[in-house]
């Protein structure tokens, strides 16, 4: 597949900007729709000179913005959302407006524009209170947070639109994605960039609980790969499905911190001496997460290229170089 016109909602965000870049490298035309509530101009600044890239500053909560973005396009990669379990607990109304109403607007706009396929970011939070490991797509529990509710509703809406309007929809349940351009700032920063920032400044990261909660940390390049496979597949059995998007390997938070200290110590040996603190468990967190990727392997020929440790080592290098790019003291609170 080449020379297609593709919308990436949330294209200035962490995952969205990586997708925009990958699509342009494959000679597609890209329309980025973003309201910059969490996305950053710096994530896509390098793309502005590409004649095949178009930025629309708009909000998925506005149906007209959605219609403008999908006008004349072939495919949609829907990444725009308000992530974070704690954010949704603190403000469930806004999470609902963005993640459900905004999602519905994009589905309606895509349907009316006769978009060929709608690929959307789902979430491993949909597995909720299910204790089964590994997580298999057809076996989910009850949601544990407003965020999880919104992402499950997305899957229900996509299924209804596929059956009712004959749309092609594919959902990708992301498992703890990490990598370059993941923001270490803000109250709702993901655990890996937050810990990296702390360690580089010789500050003690705080692990929620005893550190034995585990996650299937998934490197961004694996996520990009599966998005491209979902766009390109010609297998009719692969369409109108939901897939785990992961590497299929479980890492505890204690292990994660040790890996981070090891890899960052190659740049600054003092990091190996930083102490680790423990705090209370977070409300809405699931204890363990591990994906089965057999369905994606079978139907989409998914073959993730980066293990958690391989991706982490590459990501740590990116973070350290980014932090020190301006020649500032890595421990300076004014860097970010």
pLDDT tens digit string along 21-31? 999 999 999 99
Give the DSSP per-residue string, 304-319. ----HHHHHHHHHHHH
Integer Cα distance of 143 and 284 in angstroms: 9
User: What domains are defined for the chain?
Assistant: 5-175+219-245 (3.40.50.720), 178-215+251-287+307-323 (3.90.25.10)
Residue 131: count other Cβ atoms within 10 Å of its Cβ. Answer: 9
Which neighbouring-strand residues pair with 121? 172
Given this model, what pLDDT does residue 324 score? 67
Given this model, what pLDDT does residue 84 score? 87
Percent of the chain with pLDDT over 90: 85
Residue 49 main-chain phi, psi, to 5 deg: -85, -5
Return mean pLDDT, the chain: 93
Active site residue 259: no
Which residues, 6+ apart, have CB-to-CB distance to 219 below 8 Å? 177, 178, 179, 247, 304, 306, 307, 308, 310, 311, 312, 314, 315
- Whether the model clears a pTM of 0.85, i.e. scores above it, the answer is yes
Q: Can you tell me the mean pLDDT for 281-309?
A: 92
Given this model, what pLDDT does residue 325 score? 58
DSSP element (H, E) containing 44: helix 41-44
Residue 153 main-chain phi, psi, to 5 deg: -60, -35
Q: Can you tell me the mean pLDDT for 65-79?
A: 98
- Is-contact 165 111, C-beta < 8 A? yes
Q: Can you tell me the mean pLDDT for 8-14?
A: 97
- Joined tokens for residue 247: 């590497």
Residue 284: count other Cβ atoms within 10 Å of its Cβ. Answer: 18
Task: Check 75, 127, 147, 213 and give the catalytic one.
Answer: 147
Evaluate the CA torsion angle 129, 132, 133, 135 in order and state its sign. negative
Is residue 336 reached through a cis peptide bond, with omega within 30 degrees of 0 on the bond before it? Answer: no
Give, in order, the Cα–Cα distances in Å from 333 to each of 185, 260, 329, 330.
11, 20, 9, 8
């Amino acid at each position: 597949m080449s020379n297609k016109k593709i919308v990436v909602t949330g294209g200035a965000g962490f995952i969205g900007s990586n997708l925009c870049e990958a699509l342009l490298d494959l000679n597609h035309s890209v329309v980025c729709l973003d309201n910059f509530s969490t996305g950053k101009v710096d994530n896509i600044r390098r793309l502005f000179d590409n004649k095949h890239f178009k930025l629309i500053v708009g909000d998925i909560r506005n149906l007209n913005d959605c219609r403008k973005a999908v006008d004349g396009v072939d495919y949609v990669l829907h990444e725009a959302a308000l992530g974070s379990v704690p954010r949704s607990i603190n403000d469930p109304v806004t999470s609902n407006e963005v993640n459900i109403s905004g999602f519905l607007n994009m589905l309606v706009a895509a349907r009316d524009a006769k978009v060929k396929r709608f690929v959307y970011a789902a979430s491993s939070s949909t597995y909720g209170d299910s204790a089964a490991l590994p997580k298999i797509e057809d076996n989910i529990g009850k949601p544990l947070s407003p965020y999880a509710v919104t992402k499950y509703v997305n899957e229900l809406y996509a299924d209804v639109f596929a059956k009712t309007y004959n749309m092609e929809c594919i959902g990708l349940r992301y498992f703890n994605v990490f990598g370059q351009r993941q923001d270490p700032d803000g109250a709702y920063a993901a655990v890996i960039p937050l810990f990296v920032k702390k360690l580089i400044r010789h500050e003690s990261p705080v692990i929620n609980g005893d550190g034995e909660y585990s996650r299937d940390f998934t490197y961004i390049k694996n996520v990009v790969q599966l998005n491209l496979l979902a766009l390109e597949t010609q297998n009719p059995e692969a369409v109108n499905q939901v897939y785990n998007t992961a590497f299929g390997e479980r890492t505890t938070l204690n292990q994660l911190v040790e890996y981070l200290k090891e890899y960052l110590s190659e740049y600054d040996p003092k990091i190996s001496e930083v102490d680790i603190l423990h705090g209370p468990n977070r409300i809405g967190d699931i204890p363990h997460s591990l994906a089965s990727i057999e369905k994606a392997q079978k139907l989409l020929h998914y073959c993730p290229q980066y293990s958690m440790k391989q991706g982490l080592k590459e990501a740590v290098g990116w973070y350290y170089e980014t932090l020190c790019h301006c020649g500032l003291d890595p421990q300076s609170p004014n860097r970010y």
